[in-house]
Structures are given as structure tokens and as C-alpha cells.
A and B are shown apart, each in its own frame.
Chain A
Amino acid sequence: MDNEMIMTSEAEAPAVPVQEEKQYSSLRYAFGAVAAFFGFSTKTHRASKKRSKLVGDIVTYLVLLFGAFLMVYPFWWMLAGSFAYTLTGAGQAAVKSLIWWPNISTFNNNVSAFYNYTETFTNGMAGINNGGIDTTIAANMSYWRAVLNNLIYSIVPVVVGVITSASAAFSFAKIQWIGRNVVFFFLLAAVMVPGPAIMSTQYAMYTDLNMIDNWSVMVVPGLFGSIMTAFFIRQFLFGMPTSIIEAAKIDGAGYFRIFCGFVLPLAMPAIMAQGLLSFMGCWNNYMASYIFIASNSEWINLPHAMYLMNLKYEDNNLGPVIASSVLCVLPVLILFGCFQKLIIGSLMLTGSKE
């Protein structure tokens, strides 16, 4: 692509003055004609600007399509693999060499087409034992319980946390109080503390507070909001006119009323985008559950449950693991598909602000 750019700009440049016709060999002319057809200017033929733009566009499309294929292919593979019939040894071997569609699929093996999914739902989590280490799941733990846990862990802290972050952002952006910048930078400095560095101490702290191995360790820290979310919403609020708030103040509205009635609705695009991003982060949060919740607890989240399922199925039946991978990715992809404009727009806005 860059090559074309060079060529076109050379063609425009007045550096080649009109000289007396120089004779080239006919082979050279033929080459020049072909090159011009593909948008390259040579000494004998000058490619038209339109043609070189067209060729450049085609090459760009090809490159981008190839990249997009690489980006999407593993997801296609996941979907295809979730229909592989892996209960037999031959099927298990076949799924490992799967490229486009499984040779031995659930469509031609006298089971229902969605066998792997039903297997995941019914006894995906039953009888998991990792040979000694305490990863025996309570027998009554079902796959749906992990899904429910994951929903709780990713909806409650995100909704409450985004609102607390937005309220802090409102306070920092629109209320004149003494020391607000000092407090803001004090909070922003916390971003520099790497999470893993303090997480083992947090483990001890949560143990003291009896938060280990139940829902609270996944929910409570999120309720207080996150400083990065507050930072982005604050940036958004700076672009909002202050006169609205002042008008509301004159009409006698209190700050709480202003926040609920004006700031929340007006900053909704930023709040939604940040909320969706942190929802996706929480939904995929494998590490927190793995560290803070023992594998035999019934409060593990979905990625953690998938980890245990993989331990159980890896050597004898991969299909349900792939099916549960699809189920774990699907909600996030649907959400992203619905709100892609909002999310990408917000990311680009923050990107250009830097």
C-alpha cells in the first residue's frame, strides 16, 4: 500500500520535465502498459490517479480482509468444534485436527445436534475431581449456578459502581469545592499500584473480613466504583455546559436532584460505554474467582467453572468444553454487537484525548 502512495505522489511531482521523446525497447513499453494498468507510473506510461486509487483500495481491502479472517477464524473454529462428537476416541482425535467443520459431528451420530450443549447444561459440572487437590465440586453445583453467579458478579458491581463513579466524576467536574483537584490526583495515583502486587495482601484482608469463598469478595470491592471509570466520565462532563446545572440550582434543585435529573441522563452515553466495558471485564474475570474463591465453593464464576470443566473433560470428551467456551463468549459478543458504535466511539474519544 505504501508503495502505491510513493508512486502516485511521484506521478504528480513536476520533477519529470517534458523532454524529447526517449526511445525505450518495446518490452519496456509493454511492461509500462501493464504497470499503468495496475496503477503504477513508470517512465513510459503514467497511470491515472483514479486507477492507482482503485488498485490501492483493492490491495487494502485484501489486506484488511485477510486480517479480519485471522481475527474471526478462532471464533468460527469454536462454533464448529462445539458440534463435534467427541465421546469416542476417534471423535476426540478428529476434533484436534478440525479445520472447517468436524468430520465426526453431532449431526451424524444418533444424538441431538446440540448434544454438547445439553451435556454442558446437565452434567457439565458433575463429579469434578482434580485428583487430590481440593477441586471437588459440591455435587449439587450445576452449570446454571455458575452462570447465575457470573451474572450477579457482573451486573451488581457494575451498575452500582458506575453510578458511584459517575457521582464522583460529577463532583470533580462540576462542583466547586476546596481541594478537589488534590483529592482527584490522590485517587488517580492509585492507578499506578499494580493489582497483582497487592492482591496477596488483599487476600489476607478479605480473610480477616470473612469475605473469602463467597459472593462478597466478587461484589463488594466493585460497589465503590473505579477510578478510571470516574476519570473518563469526568472528561465527558467537562464538555457538558455548566449553565444547565446553574439554571437548575436557581430553580431550587438540590445537588442530588441535579445529579439524578440532569447529569445521569446527559452523561448516559459515557456511562453506558464505561458500564458495558466493565461488564465485559467482570464477565471474563477469571483471576479474581480463581484466587479468592476455592474451587469447591458453589460461588465460583463461569470462567472458573470452565477451568474445572476442562480438567474433567480434557482427556476424554472435549466437546462440552468447546460448547461452554461458546456459551461464555456469546453473551459478550451479542452485547458488543448491539452496542459496538457506542463502545468503539467511546474508546476512540478516550484515545484521541490522550
Chain B
Amino acid sequence: MEENVTAVAEESAAVDGSVAIAPAEEALPPVQQRRHINRAKLQDNIWGWIFCIPLIVGTVWFVYAALIMAILISFTGFSIGGMSTQTLMECLGNLGENIYKTTPIEFIDGRPVVGATYSDPFYWYKTIFTTFGTMPGAVDAAGNVYKMNAMGAHMFNTVFYMIGIPIGMVLSMFFAVCMSRDIKGGSVFRVLYYIPCVASSISIVYTFKILFNEAGVMNSLFGSEGLNWMGGELTWNSVMGTNVKNAFMDTQFWCQGLLQKCVIIIMSVWKGLGGTIILYVAGLSGVNAATKEAAQIDGASGWKIFWKVTMPDLYPVIFYNIVTSVIGGMQIYAEPVLLFGESTALDAISNTSGYVSLVWKYGIFPQGNSGKMPSAGAAYGMFLAVIIFVLTLFQFWLDSRKKD
């Protein structure tokens, strides 16, 4: 084929032979011919870049550039329409001057005096862990108020919603095994189970909002009078019917809206089931039938075949599912906010929002008139990125340990 190309290319005059990309051949071909081979490779190189340049530009611009800017501005006090009047580019241009300035209130070993500003690059990173937006807390008998940092409370919610992941994994495995039995109409069920995945989540949220209200289907199903799924706080005392003022068990942030959070879990399991089922059905159809049959002839029970033959073959699919659902679960945002509204830090009756809503709450829709502060949002976002990265690494570490 190479010869053919060169034969074709021989007709057209070679203009430049100054391409140093092709490896020189040892057989010392005539100079004329080598130039033509290079020309074909040059074409490959030029067109290769041309075809993927839009994707490269898009990814570099909207992901990598944004990531670098996010890291940089998380050290600054950049805001839109607030304290700083400069644009993002101006802020990044004078990064040194725009490092977060703060006014120290007290002396620290001879360091900045009162009234003087000094720069603190890690201001946001300190703030999000400490004072930014404390959640309302319980008051114990002695009158102590237990407050929870907003980040801890929101992260608790995110982790709580991840209870749905193992539930969904087991359920979808069960349905996938049912579907991959030798029955007619298995593909119809696959389609039906996938419908919630394609439906708009806002429509589903508004439907679930009414399904789960006090007079709704869920309550009439359980025959309970006014189980308040959608609202209200639920403290440990109200669950247990006791009156023990245990500060830990009755601290609001983690008792807040347990039923509300269960609605979110039910909804996300329901919505995510179909996609996982399809992956499992695909995985189950790839399980080695011969091994299965051999095990059957050897007298292994169905349960044993499932655990010893099917599961090891399915392991890659399961691992992929766990990794993607943990990454997706860490980013939960729209469902709780649409169902229960954005819980603002200070006046929340029950805090149900996931961690991501902090990025918006302090990054783009902050309270007060400090403007929009993408720098604070970026700091929250970087923390999230680090957590997701560490979790993923941890899962891959577990995976590699299993193989040994």
C-alpha cells in the first residue's frame, strides 16, 4: 500500500521534504522516494491534528483551563460585583496582589498587628472548615448550643444518600438475573426498566413530591395516617419516644429530615436501576456458558454456580458500577434542592442539600451583598475534587489488592 501511495504521490511534485517525524530507514532508499513517504506521513499528521482539534480546544478550554483557574482563584478574594471590581483575567494577571487579604484581629507571635492587612492564600480553605455557615444545632439542658459546620452537615447528607448505592446494586443484580433467564420478552422488561433513566428528573421530582405527601400514595399504601415524608425535623427523641436529651443523638444536623432523605434515596435508586440492570444483563450474557454447564454437571447448586462462576466473571462490571456510582453520588445536587428547596445555612429547619449545593450557595448565590464569590466556590470545589480523587484511588487500590 505504501508503494501505491508513493506511486500516486510521485506524480505531484514534492514541495517540502523537511519533515523530521518519519524514522529514517536503514536500507538507504533513494532520496526522492523517502521524501514521498514522508509526504504521506505528513498528511497523516496534519489531518490527524485537524480532525481532533475541536475536541482538544473544547477540553482544554472548558476543563483544564477552568481547573487551573479554579485552583488559582481559590487562593484569591475574587468576586463578581462585590469587593473586587476586576474581571477574572485581570485578577489572575495580578495574582500576587489579589491573594486573599484579611485583617487580623489579634497578634500572633509578633505577626500582623491589628488594623494591618496581610495576605492569607489559604483563607477560603481555612474558612470552609471552620466558621463558614454553621448549621443550627440542638440546645442541651445546660443551655449549650451544639452547632455544626455547614460543610460537615452537607457532606453528611451526601454520604447518607450513598446508602442508595448498595441497595441499587443488589436490586439491579436481582432483576438482571431474572431477565437473563431464558424467558420470552426479556428485552421488553429491559426497555420498561430503563424508562426512568431517560425521563427528566424535574418531572420525576414534582411527581414524587406529591406521591410522598401526607395524603399521598405512599402513605395510603402503608396505611399510616400522615407520615410526614416531605417535611419536618426528626430528632432521635421523636423517633424513640423517649426524652433523653443526649446531645449527640439529638443534635439536629444529622437527625434533620431523615424521612426526607429516605425519599431522595428511594428516588435515586428507582431512577438509577435501569442503567445498572442493562450493564449487568450485558455482563451476564458474557459469562462463560461452558463453565456454567460444567459446574452444573459436576453437581453444583444454582446458588453456588452464581457465586463461584457468574460473580467472578461479572466482577469487572460490578467494579465499574461501584466506581461510577460513587463518583456520581458525591456530586448529588439537583434532586434534594428541587424536592425540598435550597436549605440555607442559617434558617434551615432541616438540612437536606448535598455537598455540591455549597459550591453554589457560597460561590454564586451568596447571602448578603458581598457579590458572587467564585473563589469561595472554587475552594469548596477543589475539596470535592480531592475527595472524589482519593475515593477513586482507594477503590482502585482495593481492586488491585483483590487480584493478588
A residues apposed to B, CB below 8 Å: 1-2, 4-6, 8-10, 12-15, 56-57, 60-61, 63-64, 67-68, 70-72, 74-75, 77-78, 81, 93, 95-99, 164-165, 167-168, 170-172, 175-178, 180, 183, 187, 190, 192-205, 207-208, 221, 223-225, 227, 230, 246, 249-250, 252, 255-256, 259, 280, 283-284, 286-287, 291, 303, 306-307, 310, 318, 321-322, 325-326, 328-329, 332-333, 336, 340, 343-344, 347-349, 351-352, 354
Interface contact B178-A200, CB-CB below 8 Å: no
Interface contact A332-B51, CB-CB below 8 Å: no
* B146 sits at the interface (CB 8 A): no
Q: Which of B65-73, B132-140, B246-254 contacts A (4 or more CB under 8 A)?
A: B65-73
Report Cα–Cα, A354/B214, bound state, in Å: 44
Across the interface, which residues of A come within 8 angstroms of B333, CB to CB?
196, 287
Report Cα–Cα, A205/B374, bound state, in Å: 10
Q: What are 28 A-B contacts defined by CB distance under 8 Å?
A: A5-B302, A9-B296, A9-B301, A56-B181, A70-B270, A71-B193, A71-B274, A77-B211, A78-B207, A168-B55, A171-B49, A175-B51, A176-B44, A177-B45, A187-B55, A194-B385, A199-B359, A203-B377, A204-B78, A205-B88, A207-B87, A207-B88, A246-B1, A284-B201, A326-B203, A332-B199, A332-B200, A354-B317
Report Cα–Cα, A286/B179, bound state, in Å: 33
Interface contact A224-B54, CB-CB below 8 Å: yes
A165 and B334 in contact, given A196-B359, A207-B80 (Cβ under 8 angstroms): no
Select B192's contact among A9, A71, A280, beta carbons within 8 Å: A71
Q: Mark B42-63, 1 if CB is under 8 A from A, else 0.
A: 0111011111101111110111
* B14 sits at the interface (CB 8 A): no
Interface contact A208-B88, CB-CB below 8 Å: yes
Distance in angstroms from B26 CB to nearest chain A CB is: 20
* B204 sits at the interface (CB 8 A): yes
Q: Mark B239-257, 1 if CB is under 8 A from A, else 0.
A: 0000000000000000000
Interface contact B385-A197, CB-CB below 8 Å: yes
- Which are the 6 A-B pairs with shortest beta-carbon distances? A224-B58, A5-B302, A200-B377, A177-B48, A200-B363, A197-B381
Across the interface, which residues of B come within 8 angstroms of A57, CB to CB?
181, 183
Interface contact B206-A198, CB-CB below 8 Å: no
Across the interface, which residues of A come within 8 angstroms of B372, CB to CB?
203
Across the interface, which residues of A come within 8 angstroms of B214, CB to CB?
96
Interface contact B175-A64, CB-CB below 8 Å: yes
A310 and B206 in contact, given A75-B199, A178-B45, A197-B382 (Cβ under 8 angstroms): yes
Distance in angstroms from A146 CB to nearest chain B CB is: 12
Across the interface, which residues of A come within 8 angstroms of B198, CB to CB?
280, 332-333, 336
Across the interface, which residues of A come within 8 angstroms of B153, CB to CB?
none
Report Cα–Cα, A283/B201, bound state, in Å: 10
A208 and B282 in contact, given A9-B296, A224-B59, A354-B316 (Cβ under 8 angstroms): no
CB-contacts of B192-248 with A (<8 A):
192-196, 198-204, 206-208, 210-211, 213-217, 220
Interface contact B282-A250, CB-CB below 8 Å: no
Across the interface, which residues of B come within 8 angstroms of A64, CB to CB?
175, 178-179, 189
A97 and B389 in contact, given A71-B196, A196-B384 (Cβ under 8 angstroms): no
A250 and B302 in contact, given A170-B51, A197-B70 (Cβ under 8 angstroms): no
Report Cα–Cα, A12/B295, bound state, in Å: 12
Interface contact A192-B392, CB-CB below 8 Å: yes
Interface contact A348-B282, CB-CB below 8 Å: yes
Interface contact A68-B193, CB-CB below 8 Å: yes
Interface contact B8-A250, CB-CB below 8 Å: yes
Interface contact A196-B5, CB-CB below 8 Å: no
Distance in angstroms from B393 CB to nearest chain A CB is: 10
Interface contact B282-A74, CB-CB below 8 Å: no
Sample of 10 more A-B contacts, CB < 8 Å, known A176-B41, A199-B381, A347-B282: A8-B302, A15-B299, A78-B207, A99-B217, A165-B55, A175-B44, A192-B389, A198-B385, A348-B278, A348-B285
A259 and B189 in contact, given A2-B303, A307-B338, A332-B200 (Cβ under 8 angstroms): no
* B64 sits at the interface (CB 8 A): yes
A354 and B202 in contact, given A164-B54, A200-B363, A230-B55 (Cβ under 8 angstroms): no
Across the interface, which residues of B come within 8 angstroms of A170, CB to CB?
51
Interface contact A351-B52, CB-CB below 8 Å: no
* B388 sits at the interface (CB 8 A): yes
Distance in angstroms from B348 CB to nearest chain A CB is: 17
Interface contact B59-A190, CB-CB below 8 Å: yes
Interface contact B207-A325, CB-CB below 8 Å: yes
Interface contact A6-B302, CB-CB below 8 Å: yes
A204 and B374 in contact, given A57-B181, A95-B210, A171-B47 (Cβ under 8 angstroms): yes
A72 and B385 in contact, given A93-B215, A203-B363, A344-B278 (Cβ under 8 angstroms): no
Interface contact B211-A198, CB-CB below 8 Å: no
Across the interface, which residues of A come within 8 angstroms of B187, CB to CB?
344
Across the interface, which residues of B come within 8 angstroms of A227, CB to CB?
55, 59
Across the interface, which residues of A come within 8 angstroms of B56, CB to CB?
168, 183, 187
Interface contact A193-B331, CB-CB below 8 Å: no
Across the interface, which residues of A come within 8 angstroms of B301, CB to CB?
5-6, 9-10
Interface contact B49-A177, CB-CB below 8 Å: yes
Interface contact A351-B278, CB-CB below 8 Å: yes
Q: Mark B342-368, 1 if CB is under 8 A from A, else 0.
A: 000000000000001001100110000
* B300 sits at the interface (CB 8 A): yes
CB-CB nearest in chain A for B279: A351
